[in-house]
Amino acid sequence: MQHKRKRYRYSRMTRKRRRAQVRRRVMGTVAVVGVCVLGLGFGVRQLTGIGQSGPVDIQADTTSVQWEGAPPINVELLTPNEWSRPQIALQQINGIVIHYTANPGSTAQQNHDYFEGLKDSQSTKASSHFIIGLDGEVIQCIPSSEWAYASNSRNSDTLSIECCHPDESGQFTDATYQSLVQLTGWLCHRFGLSSEDVIRHYDVTGKDCPKYFVEHEDAWVQFRQDVQDYADSL
């Protein structure tokens, strides 16, 4: 009889231990799920800008609907430094400024590397949010939430696009032009701008940049129309 009571007590204790183990496992699973949900929420806020103030940073996540319509973008952010990426926050985006490199035949990568090298040479302050190459490739150098040293008095409220060109005329290749239309139109769509908000470096400082669009006003007018048509299609 005493032996049976011991077995009964042992059986009850075992069941209690098992129930306690189950409760611990359930609580652990709930905790893990909660962390995952919180992480997912943070990721969504980072991606869409929900809960953020100021411009939404874009890092060319072209797998998201947010980036539908953007050209392929190779993100190669410059190392934070005083000379080309000062990490000054853009509070708003009121325009997009178009530039040309004034370095015939140079590639997007070479111009990116020049901006990157300014942290060491400290020869001048210069950079751009995006560079478009001779084959239409796009490199992002600066997050869209930060200043670039590109457009003088408009650094504080614009995004900048540098374009490579094959010769002294400054005229872009067809591939460069198509990527420029697509990127500029998408940025307009993304940040609630129109082609009227797309300007030349020339319109800020009077500098002959981008050269071809300054010397050929009809080409500039057509470019802005192409940008608006693309933005409206998104």
Q: Considering only residues 195 and 13, tell me which one the structure prediction assigns the higher pLDDT.
A: 195
188 in the same domain as 153: yes
The answer to whether 109 and 213 are in contact (CB under 8 A) is: no
**CATH assignment of the domain containing 112:** 3.40.80.10
At residue 68, the pLDDT reads: 86
229 in the same domain as 146: yes
Average pLDDT estimate for 16-35: 44
44 in the same domain as 97: no
Where in the sequence is the domain holding 9, given as residue range(s)? Answer: 1-52
69 in the same domain as 33: no
Average pLDDT estimate for 210-227: 98
Tokens of 92: 């708003």
Residue 49 has pLDDT above 70, yes or no: no
Average pLDDT estimate for 24-28: 46
Give a yes or no: residue 131 inside a domain: yes
Number of domains in the chain: 2
Give a yes or no: residue 151 inside a domain: yes
174 in the same domain as 70: yes
How far, CA to CA in Å, does 19 sit from each of 7, 16, 23, 115? 18, 5, 6, 63
Average pLDDT estimate for 148-153: 98
207 in the same domain as 112: yes
Cα 17 from chain centroid (whole Å): 54
**Taking phi first (over 0 means left), then psi (-120 to 50 degrees means alpha), and beta for anything else, what does residue 140 get?**
beta
pLDDT band at 220 (very low <50, low <70, confident <90, very high): very high
Q: Considering only residues 150 and 31, tell me which one the structure prediction assigns the higher pLDDT.
A: 150
Dist CA 177 CA 63 (whole Å): 24
Average pLDDT estimate for 72-95: 97
Residue 210 has pLDDT above 80, yes or no: yes
202 in the same domain as 89: yes
174 in the same domain as 95: yes
At residue 70, the pLDDT reads: 94
47 in the same domain as 74: no
Residue 12 has pLDDT above 80, yes or no: no
Give a yes or no: residue 27 inside a domain: yes
Residue 73 has pLDDT above 90, yes or no: yes
pTM of the model: 0.76
